[in-house]
Amino acid sequence: MTGSAEGIGARVTRREDKRFITGKGRYTDDMAVAGMCHAAFVRSPHAHAKVSSLDADAARAMPGVIAVLTGEELAADGVGNLICGWMIHSKDGTPMKMGAWRALEHETVRHVGQAVAVVVAETRAQARDAADAVVVDYEALDAVVDSLDALKPDAPQIHPEAEGNLIYDWEIGDEAATEAAFASAAHVTKMEIRNNRLVPNPMEPRAALAHYEEADEHYTLWTTSQNPHVARLVLSAFYNIAPEHKLRVIAPDVGGGFGSKIYIYPEEMVCLWASKKTGVPVKWTSDRTEAFLTDAHGRDHHSEAEVALDADNKIVGLRVKTVANLGAYMSLFSSSVPTYLYATLLSGQYDIPAIHCNVKTVYTNTTPVDAYRGAGRPEATYLLERLMETTAREIGMDPAEFRRKNFIRSFPHQTPVIMCYDAGDYDASLDAALKAIDYDGFAARKAEAARRGKLRGIGLSCYIEACGIAPSQAVGSLGAGVGLWESAEVRVNPVGTIEVLTGSHSHGQGHETTFAQLVAERLGVGLDTVSIVHGDTDKVQFGMGTYGSRSGAVGMSAISKALDKVEAKAKKLAAHLMEASEGDITLEGGTFKVAGTDKELPFFQVALAAYTAHNMPEGMEPGLKEGAFYDPTNFTFPAGTYVCEVEVDPETGKTEVVDFVAADDFGTIINPMIVEGQVHGGLTQGIGQALLENAAYDADGQLLSASYMDYTMPRADDVPSYRLMTTVTECPGNPLGMKGCGEAGAIGSPPAVINAITDAIGTNALEMPATPANVWRALKSAQPAQAAE
Amino acid sequence: MYETTYHRATSVSDAVAKLGASDDAKVLAGGQTLLPTMKQRLAAPSDVIDVTHIADMKGITETAGGLRIGAATTHAEVAGSEIVKRMLPGLATLAGHIGDPHVRHMGTIGGSLANNDPAADYPSAALALGATIHTNSRQIPAEDFFTGMFETALEDGEIVTAVEFPKAGACAYAKYPNPASRYAMAGVFVAKTDGGVRVAVTGAGQGGVFRHAGLEDALAQNFSADAIAGVTTDPDQLLSDIHGSADYRANLITVMAKRAVAACA
Ligand SMILES: Cc1cc2nc3c(=O)[nH]c(=O)nc-3n(C[C@H](O)[C@H](O)[C@H](O)COP(=O)(O)OP(=O)(O)OC[C@H]3O[C@@H](n4cnc5c(N)ncnc54)[C@H](O)[C@@H]3O)c2cc1C
């Protein structure tokens, strides 16, 4: 490493922000090609119905209409069904029961908003007018929306493939050992816990522009994707759209994803097919209502959890039963979320000798559910951290001390649920957070709030997550259909400027800045000589994309490996040019030097020499360009402690988050400013889940919160000014020591908020979201009980 | 949005004529309700008649008995008006908490009253202060103007031109916002008028804005927050939705009434 003022650890302002802040970002909807037409989808108003007939004659005759295409035609053309790419087996060994998901459904619709036909017309308005004119007759069927109801014997059957709506009945851990632990326990705490369903709501809605060029039999798809190569692979290998070399997928600027833009959806696929079918380029941009109804939702668990303690208050066992709602169809990675991304984190930061978890996933007549910021890990953390807090209260022990008593302190630590934690210092983050919040002074703050008529409460959450998703062999053995390495290519141009091609994709994370900082650090060149290229399958050879906080730990590790190779070759060439021995060459501040002499060559001259190739060492190829694939050996394990203080207005039930301290261990930090931004966003999403957000369905499967009039997104005045700090243990598993920071805030914060509220109101009977009405009701129902005591 | 034709009216009579010239024309004021509804294809007027450039329908003036606000006056203008702040501070506070800055700089008092959204703020002030709604053809007391959710006494083609508010001894508005939309879940306007204490509630009633006899009686006896702490509202008359049950709204009415009374002091 040569060091640089713009290198690792520098608070460099984001290079991409000039274009975003000045409105010059280039998003999919900004793209246009000559002759472009527009798609509008005809969607089911029913949650569950048979399609008895579809009459598009009137629509086809409307102005500007090029075609109205249906599911029958799609099937006849051999376009494949949508798939879930992660195989999970039930505990009896049977594979998960995947129901058929057609991009346009012509027989049975299974959620409100499911597409049954598409109109292509010259303008967007004409397409929508014609979509309204398509007459579809439905025969309504009974719907079921709640996952527990879906498992009842008389529940409506949703897919013929999945009897009783059960997709799989899976388990992890040692059931007998866990049972034995409970049998010998001195104390057991048991809870029912619900994790509310969320709608991801990225600022930019999904969009696609599909262009089929007949002469070359070639497709180009501009789309809102977090992983364009995976999109191409799936579109090609499973949906038979086109072979990979005939399909270019471009994900230009993407305005947020949070997981929802990982998956392949019906609309993008239909645009490709429709472009070939009609011979015109086809664009579709989701409106907000479509986003609410069709973007994959997140969370939605019902769980029973119990923890067993010995007489010394050490945890001896944990038992969890979860029912997870996957909605009407299995989205691309949906099966992995409530299993390997959830139950494997149930050990938290604690040394728990025996854990058993059973997970049933079910179909319901709701929007499909898949990974959403944190994906499984927020559900695990919420369950465990509410259980920890509740247990501490039951046994009359300080919640911080109860956690501390059970912390893991030696690493590596093998949990009973697959994960092997590589490094961490949980005392350090707990200590830092308690000090920052002034834990000991809480009683005085509570008393002062009481004088103002407010109920003050404090709540903790000690979270852990598995990030940097992850070692290909490991995920392969667990059922993943893909490997989860990352690739990079470093191209040094003849003038010494550098292009880094990465398989990671930036949709808000700031890769154009942080990835360039790594190059600046390593080669000692200025940030302005480095550009980051991503999001185009014609430019970048292959990549797995961005999710699971993997772009630093995995994507940057691949860049680092490619930089190793560039540096090695450049040193060899520099040694040759300066007639020195390779071992004496150092790279400092962008200049190659020969140790112990005053000979030096700037980086750009060595680059030029590599391209003029007039004077190369024996056998060295011209050029300076190297690629690398990086496959980690383990997940990474960011962890930390969050402490939240709230004040509840007992008259209205309104909660104000008055203080929030986050002490995170993300390992090495490339750009503290960007990391803080990631944490701010994550915390705000977590507070949103805890206090505000809820995808509420009525019994017929209509989404009641299908617009911002009813779905409460967190706003600036809902959140406090966060107080952030980091403690660092480097990750031993990757060359940079990075763990990842993209999801921590959303994972760790909900239980801290709810623990604080339940502390304030003196009752634990509270579910998310803790809206004013819900808190008021909890307070009210607790009052008679208190009076009776 | 479906196709529509935009017209800019130059006077009230011009607007009335343009409205009458088509079966399916609608008045367009700030567009903060009408345009989103059109974008969602829930409304499809053939023509929209913009009344926000009619000089007679804009501005705030002091009158003998109180003040007159042109129907096309924006929420921001009402919130920032020195006349309103001095004479009816509760009304200025109310206007200053409608929606967000964009909404307040576009939305108008006339549009809000004509729309009579059950969760809108202005109807409570109009009813509690005993305002008179002026139209192109008549004057309608607030009492008779609001006839039910999204319903008013306005005839087809009738345009609200101004609202006249009588002076009040003191007045205040306390609003509990819906967490998502930030319209009122329960908004209570309390006014000491020449005709006694009047209390109007918005956001909570099944039939839209209503006067609250229980609160008015208690406050007539003793104008203090304590005097109404025990006054309840029958939840059977109240709205219930995913944001709050009728019970919760009944509670909010009492709490907001107490806060409005306290703010009158
Ligand atoms: C994001 C957002 C938040 C909001 N929050 C709130 C809130 O917290 N509280 C609240 O009270 N309101 C809120 N509103 C509504 C806002 O106050 C609107 O401005 C108001 O309801 C309508 O006024 P307008 O001038 O925009 O009318 P328009 O939208 O132009 O018209 C509304 C209706 O009234 C009719 N109309 C308009 N003017 C007249 C007239 N002079 N005579 C006869 N008919 C007429 C129109 O034909 C139409 O049917 C919000 C709106 C938005 C978009």
Q: Dump the DSSP string for A55-121.
A: E-HHHHTSTTEEEEEEHHHHHHTTPPPP---B--B-TTSPBP-PPP--SS-SSEE-STT-EEEEEEE
- For residue B244, the chain A residue with the least C-alpha distance is A773
Whether residue B230 has pLDDT greater than 90: yes
Q: What values do phi and psi take at B256, rounded to 5?
A: -70, -35
pLDDT at A552 over 90: no
Contacts of B17 by beta carbon, 8 Å cutoff, 6+ apart: none
Residue of chain A minimizing CA distance to B253:
A652
pLDDT at site A789 = 40
The residue-averaged pLDDT of A488-505 equals 94
| A771: amino acid identity, one letter | T
Q: Find all residues with CB under 8 Å of A399, minimum gap 6, and list them.
A: A388, A389, A392, A393, A460, A755
Q: pLDDT digits over A359-391, tens only?
A: 999 999 999 999 999 999 999 999 999 999 999
Q: Per-residue pLDDT for A349 more than 80? A: yes
Domain with CATH 3.30.465.10 in chain B: 5-166
Instruction: State chain A's mean pLDDT as an integer.
Output: 95
**Mutation for B interface: A771, A780, A781, most B CBs within 10 A:** A771
Residue A786 has pLDDT above 70, yes or no: no
CATH of A17-24+485-630, one of 3.40.50.300, 3.30.365.10, 3.20.20.70, 3.30.420.40: 3.30.365.10
Residues of B with CB below 8 A from A713's CB? 180
Cα–Cα distance, A749 to A571 (Å, whole number): 47
The stretch A695-724 carries a mean pLDDT of: 97
Instruction: Examine the pLDDT at B250 and tell me if it is beyond 90.
Output: yes
* pLDDT of res. A32: 97
| Closest approach atom of ligand 1 to CA B34 | 29
Q: Is A184 left (phi over 0), alpha (psi -120 to 50) or beta?
A: alpha
As a whole number, mean pLDDT of residues A255-273 equals: 95
Q: What are phi and psi of B120, to 5 degrees?
A: -75, 155
Q: What is the pLDDT of residues A429-445, one digit of tens each?
A: 999 999 999 999 999 99
CA distance A551 to chain B (A): 34
What pLDDT is recorded for position A479?
87
Which pLDDT band, with edges at 50, 70 and 90, does B103 fall under? very high
Architecture of domain B5-166: 2-Layer Sandwich (3.30)
CA angle A165/A166/A171 to nearest 5° reads 165
**Assigned fold of A298-470+634-788:** Aldehyde Oxidoreductase; domain 4 (3.30.365)
- CA A631/CA B62 separation, integer angstroms: 76
Burial A588-601 (b: 16+ CB within 10 A, else e): eebbbbbeeeebeb
Give yes or no for B119 touching A (CB within 8 A).
no
Distance CA(A187)–CA(A178), nearest Å, equals: 14
Distance CA A578, CA A324 (A): 65
Phi then psi for B77, rounded to 5 degrees? Answer: -65, -40
How many other C-beta atoms can be found within 10 angstroms of the C-beta atom of residue A53? 9
CB-CB neighbors (< 8 A) of A692 in chain B: 179-180
- In a mutagenesis test of the A interface, which of B42, B251, B253, B259 is the best target, namely the one with the most A β-carbons within 10 Å? B251
Span(s) in chain A for CATH 3.30.365.10: 17-24+485-630, 298-470+634-788
Cβ contacts of B1 on chain A, cutoff 8 Å: 125
Instruction: Report which residue type is found at A130.
Output: A
Sign of CA pseudo-dihedral A432, A436, A438, A439: negative
Q: How confident is the model at residue A784 (pLDDT cuts 50, 70, 90)?
A: low
Q: Is B217 exposed, middle or buried (0-12, 13-18, 19+ CB in 10 A)?
A: middle
Residue A231, by phi and psi: left (phi above 0), alpha (psi -120 to 50) or beta? alpha
Beta-carbon contacts of residue B191 (< 8 Å; ≥ 6 apart)? B90, B128, B129, B130, B168, B169, B170, B171, B197, B198, B199
Structure tokens, A684: 């705000």
pLDDT at A788 over 80: no
Nearest Cα neighbor of A385 from A748, A2, A51, A662 is A748
Q: B170-264: what fold?
A: Enolase-like; domain 1 (3.30.390)
Instruction: Quote the pLDDT of residue A421.
Output: 97
Give B229 or A478, the one with higher predicted confidence. B229
Residues 6 or more apart whose Cβ sits within 8 Å of residue A115: A41, A42, A43, A44, A103, A104, A105, A266, A267, A270, A294
Select from B244, B147, B74, B41 the least CA-distant residue to A133: B41
Q: What is the pLDDT of residue A3?
A: 55
ipTM of predicted complex: 0.95
The string of pLDDT tens digits covering residues A170-215 is 999 999 999 999 999 999 999 999 999 999 999 999 999 999 999 9
Strands (E), A411-541: 413-414, 420-421, 455-464, 486-492, 498-502, 530-533
Task: Supply the pLDDT for residue A544.
Answer: 87
Average pLDDT over residues A674-694: 97
CATH fold of A31-141+203-256+261-294 reads Aldehyde Oxidoreductase; domain 3 (3.90.1170)
Q: How far is CA A123 from CA A29, A126, A355, A367, B49, in A?
A: 14, 5, 57, 28, 26
| CA–CA separation, A644 and A627 (whole Å) | 45
